[in-house]
A and B are shown apart, each in its own frame.
Chain A
Amino acid sequence: MKRAAFTHPWMPVLLLIPQLTIIVFFFYWPAVEALRSSFYLQDPFGFGGTFVGLENYFTLFQNKEYLRISLFTVIFTLSVTFFSLAFGLVFAVKADKVLRGASTYKTMLMWVYAVAPPVAGLLGVSLFYQGHGLITQIFALFGYEFVVGVNYKDTAFAMIAVSIWKQVPINFIFFLSGLQSVPRSIREAAMIENGSPFNRFWTITFPLLAPTAFFLLITNITYSLFDTFGVIDVMLRSEPGNNPMTLTYKVYVDGFRGNELGGSSAQSVILMVLVLALTVFQFRLIERRIHYT
């Protein structure tokens, strides 16, 4: 709040009402409802539900399939986050360095940001198409038969590859803008000090990029957990079967397909706790970052 502020009897209320109304109806109510129904066992035929306490949670943690999906989600999140950050960083460092064509490269490496995840999934489907997909054929050259949708590992690989492709641009944009905000004096001092470009990067540039990298780490984890829904749904052609899927996709499958409300809500709540932990972690980092600058 500014020191020089207005005072008015009803103006601020009027300004806040639209936002607050939407939030109460479409944020707080559903969130509370998810929490509440996670403690109930829903009757599949009607409205009745029995209070079962934490039973839905216990059932989940004993469910082998749920544990398998959790494990896959961890692997998926780690690979997508790691590789899309790595590619984004490499491209940004190079794009920051070259003198010619810098703006063309920048455009070429960032436009995929605007491609919707399910569209990326569809592109993935045609590239990994059984038999004559481009990437399938490349694998065939090495004598490996790649079958998306049948082989668990192949499907996982394809999903991860597509999700990385979709996420590289945003990391590129942030790393590049981070690099370009490194003061020239620091760069020049580093040049005079000399040392190999490799050393210079790890001792000077990377530490200066660290805040950006931390911010992106959280963004990428959130992306892998939630925004990849479209990629996964399209690549599985809405038929999950025994294929790999993430926890978010499982919430959807159980809630809308399986009509297993209590279990699905409990899964939602677990995800909520996960995101909450991540965001609190992120806020603390941002706070610390403000102290630096």
Chain B
Amino acid sequence: MKSSVTSATNLPKINRRRRLVKWETVIDHSVLILGSALMLFPVLLTIMTSSYDKLAFAKNGLQFGWSDKFIENYNKALFEPSGFSGTIDGMTMLSNSLILGLGFAVGKIVISMMAAYAIVYFRFRFATFSFWIIFTTLLLPLEVRILPSYEVIQSFGLTNTYTGLIVPLIASATGTFFFRQFFRSVPEELVEAARIDGAGPVKFFIDILVPLSKTMIAAMFIIMFVFGWNQYLWPTLITTEEGMFTLVRGIKNIIQSFTDSNAIPEYGVGMALTIITMLPPVLIVVFFQSWFVKGLTESDK
């Protein structure tokens, strides 16, 4: 990218060298196009198949083309009740997914900013102890303590509630760690200046630190929203009532409908629901790419 200037000035060089560079460029682009195609193709085929009726997939598998059932399938996927109890439609799952994604992202950001603020900007007893208690949680993902976590939620009677769905997922220090690193990079003169001006900790946090962290908050929000939306194992355990299912949780139902039923499964509708499930996080990541990449790559420092 940056080297475009150099290569332009290098142009009047020996012929042999130029041709060599050209071949290299062709190879580079071929590799990248092949890679992009590998990434895109499975999803592209699924989108195409979601425009066909159920027979097309049953007979010939994924379709390469376009048919006339697109609107009908998406309509069915979003509004027609399905599932074992016949109470769940795509819209309900969509809103559950949104609640999980937003609730998780907002909750995590608020809680971890508060904790990180306390750890970085306050001098108090037990500071080191709190730090270690919080950061030990980085060591163990939810998956390894899944069964006892489920039992705790069950003993609180929180199964099939949004609280039970969201709060245990917040119990890791990734966000706190991220904000701690960022706060530590904020120049120390700012606190001193604020204190000389007579600003207390609350004023400093709201008027100076939060505005400074805007980009970081946005980046964290995108990453956490996608993470929350894409949760599978935890919602699978915690939600047994179909009215509480998220879209990603609903994938399990799609796959079971593909195998269980005696009639031909509604493949077109299933494919449509799959696309609906992946669309929101994909769009967010694509449109807010620069924030997202920044948040992701900064967090490991």
Contact = CB atoms under 8 A, between A and B. Distances in A.
Interface of A: 1-8, 11-13, 15-16, 18-20, 22-23, 25-27, 29-31, 33-34, 37, 87, 90-91, 94-99, 101-102, 105-119, 121-127, 129, 131-134, 137, 165, 168-170, 173-174, 177, 184, 187-188, 197, 215, 222, 226, 229-230, 233-234, 237-238, 248, 251-252, 255-256, 261, 264-265, 268, 271-272, 275-276, 279, 286
Q: Mostly helix, strand, loop or mixed at chain A's interface?
A: helix
A86 B270 CA distance: 33
A6 B122 contact: yes
A215 B201 contact: no
Nearest to B270: A122
A172 to B, nearest CB: 8
A13 to B, nearest CB: 7
Most buried by A among B146, B200, B281, B285: B146
B293 A114 contact: no
Nearest to A134: B62
B188 A114 contact: no
Contacts of A261: 147
Nearest to B293: A173
Contact of B147 (A8, A119, A265): A265
Contacts of B226: 113-114
Contacts of B78: none
A117 B201 contact: no
Nearest to B122: A12
Given A23-B133, A94-B31, A261-B147, A119 B171 contact: no
A264 B4 contact: no
Contacts of B29: 98, 101
15 contacts: A13-B118, A19-B114, A26-B171, A91-B31, A96-B1, A99-B4, A106-B289, A113-B285, A115-B282, A129-B61, A132-B61, A134-B61, A170-B296, A226-B144, A279-B139
Most buried by B among A30, A95, A137, A226: A30
B175 to A, nearest CB: 9
Contacts of A230: 232-233, 248, 251
Contact of A114 (B40, B172, B255, B281): B281
A28 to B, nearest CB: 8
B60 to A, nearest CB: 6
Given A26-B152, A26-B168, A122-B251, A114 B144 contact: no
A7 B122 contact: yes
B91 interface: no
A33 B145 CA distance: 9
B146 A22 contact: no
Given A26-B167, A177-B297, A234-B251, A272 B145 contact: yes
Most buried by B among A31, A111, A234: A111
B252 A233 contact: yes
B145 A2 contact: no
B229 interface: yes
Given A5-B123, A15-B117, A26-B171, A119 B277 contact: yes
B115 A19 contact: yes
Nearest to A254: B147
Nearest to A88: B35
B230 interface: yes
A111 B296 CA distance: 13
B251 A134 contact: no
